[in-house]
Structure 1
């Protein structure tokens, strides 16, 4: 969870050297974070950033947009950004230090993806695919770069922390992960965590499918929501970060989704 200790540095911001420029996937939580990331990039190779792709609307993944836009980069995202109201104070601004947030503004994408967008940078193909239904959020995208044999999955994939269903849908999220599992790629980079091979998908997939099955089993025999929230403990995940703050909310979310489907 973002706070004054980590100042929002808890999600993955990724970059790919496309030969003549960098492609950035998720710009990070603040202007200053993005500026520091770009300084690291330039130490590898001093190239401009041509495009930034925002995987979804959660602000820890896109509040660095302002830095890259000022450098001349084009910002790409889903149409869900067009429906996102600009807040007087963002979630990030409320939680991190004023010093760390300094310079950060709410800069939205100006190029939008409907279902899929394929383009090239210096002859290298970039394939942006929209999930096109509710998953982790109202809509999410992932980025496939065939020449690098890699998928950047955004928050469809979590590792080393429990995923949150607060804005999502259990069935849609599992369906999106099943699509990712079928892709013939070597590397999968999620929105949180350090695992980057294809096994990265499995932690989130296993948690969500086990959670759905456990809740459905109890819903099918008529248990009410209070009992289900108390009973679906899933102890094998108890030591995963954010279990205590997120798991019970996830159980409740799944119960309400499945209950609605059964009506």
Structure 2
């Protein structure tokens, strides 16, 4: 992660990436696309103080303040890419239709309640883990703002004379993941289709869509690839995410066919060359999603149970007591 520092990176031609090390839970990236006095923001951050800080850095670097940003694109529904939307009350908020629906189902207030309950020791391992990983973030202070424009498939936007192409590749990481491609500037903002040097988490699937999204990025004529988490990357980084997803799919399938439970499989699968990536415990969610896919199980998932299993893996790897 050489050169991976917090802040704004000028990629040239009015394209900027905003990076937040270390890329773990909640520490997401964003981007700015400008042409003259027009600007589009790719994602906001996990809470309002972080988003306000980012907007201030962007203003200092470009002369464009929050009121000059006419459009925000949310690449998907997770709060670390949407919770700052309220700081841009004048902007059009664009997201896929599936993402807009998902945002409406899981509010920042719910996160605040879960975090408080976890900190109070009310939810066992799941609560301890949830409170620990989200300790730096202020969900209670979030005024969420829903998308004002939605789309399915593809949507072409203009920022000044720049063409910006939104490509829906979900369901994959979430229900409605979107790539933001600026062809003339050879740049793509991937949202959480890419976690670089961090473990991807597959809340939705199917895995085939995520693999296809990686392949789409590999086929793009781009010089700049801005992931949802982690440092700026290149095709090798995209291939590494593709390889991880392929590997865990094969390993999960072996154990599913052998009759092993998803929980046991999550503890049994060795991560090999991916073991050094952060947040390895996300394997628990990935295996659960793959098992559901193998079984054609579309019943509601138990998210709290998945956080408990991730917590058990997390504390086990750290040699700490879970609760």
User: Please, what TM-score do these two structures have when normalized by structure 1?
Assistant: 0.85
Match of 2:282 among 243, 246, 250: 246
Equivalence for 1:76: 94
Which residue number in structure 2 is paired with residue 3 of structure 1? Answer: none
Change in Cα spacing, 1:148 to 1:92, as seen in structure 2 (3 Å) is farther
Shift of 1:138: 1.2
The aligned length equals 251
**Which residue among 16, 29, 46 is the counterpart of 1:29?**
46
Quote the RMSD (CA, aligned, Å): 2.6
The yes-or-no answer on 1:224 pairing with 2:260 is yes
Distance 1:176 1:138, change over 3 A: same
For residues 190-214 of structure 1, what are the alpha-carbon distances to aligned partners after superposition, in whole Å with 9 as ceiling and x for unaligned?
A: 1100033233312211100111122
What SS is found at the alignment partner of 2:296? helix
Number of the residue aligned with 2:160: 122
- CA shift, 1:239, in A, is 2.1
SS of 1:155's equivalent in the other structure is helix
**For the residues of structure 2 that align with 1:90 and 1:148, how far apart are their CA atoms?**
39
Give the 3-state SS of the residue equivalent to 1:192 in structure 2.
coil
The verdict on how the C-alpha distance between 1:260 and 1:144 changes in structure 2, with shifts beyond 3 A counting, is same
CA offset at residue 126 of structure 1?
A: 0.7
Question: 1:155 offset after TM fit, Å?
Answer: 0.4
The equivalent of 2:232 in structure 1 is 195
Gaps of 5+ in 1: 1-5
Distance in 2 separating the partners of 1:58 and 1:202:
24
Specify which of 35, 42, 57 is matched with residue 18 of structure 1. 35
Which of 147, 155, 171 aligns to 2:208? It is 171
Whether 1:162 and 2:179 are equivalent positions in the alignment is no
User: How many angstroms apart in 1 are the aligned matches of 2:274 and 2:193?
Assistant: 18
Instruction: Using structure 2 for the length normalisation, give the TM-score.
Output: 0.70
Q: 2:105 corresponds to which residue?
A: 85
Q: Deviations over 1:211-244 (max 9, x none)?
A: 1122234445x3433564443212322222111x
**What 5-or-longer segments of structure 2 have no aligned partner?**
1-22, 116-130, 298-323
- Equivalences for residues 201-212 of structure 1 within 5 A: 201-212=238-249
Structure 1 stretch 121-130 or stretch 172-181: which is displaced more?
172-181
Q: Aligned partners of 2:222 and 2:206: how far apart in 1? A: 25
Match of 1:55 among 72, 75, 83: 75
Instruction: Rate the CA distance shift 1:87–1:169 in 2: closer, same or farther, 3 A.
Output: same
Output one character per residue of 1:40-86: Cα deviation in whole Å (capped at 9) or x when no partner: 011112122121100011111100000012xx221111112145236
| Deviates further, 182-191 or 98-107 | 98-107
Q: Name the structure 2 match of 1:183.
A: 220
